């Protein structure tokens, strides 16, 4: 429904918030920068009561994305 679309839109805002570490093997994403995640939640006006569930969902997506990134290298 509409709530799910709003959530997807908010999470999409986080796509640029990855921590990237450069080394001898090139650049690698290591995960989301959680301080930036909190800032995005504040700016998006996400109620405090919604944040634990949203953060849990975000962690699941982060883990899946890291698996994909790892498989690409």
Tens-level pLDDT at each residue, the chain (73 residues)? 555 555 555 556 677 788 888 888 788 888 999 999 999 889 889 999 999 999 999 999 999 999 998 888 6
CA 51 – CA 57 distance, rounded (Å): 10
Element (H, E) at 30: strand 26-32
């Amino acid at each position: 429904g509409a709530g799910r679309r709003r959530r997807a839109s908010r999470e999409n805002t986080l796509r640029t918030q990855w921590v990237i570490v450069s080394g001898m093997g090139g650049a690698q994403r290591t995960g989301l920068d959680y301080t930036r995640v909190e800032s995005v939640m504040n700016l998006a006006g996400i109620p405090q009561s919604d944040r634990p569930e949203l953060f849990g969902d975000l962690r699941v997506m982060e883990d899946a994305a890291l698996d994909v990134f790892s498989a690409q290298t």
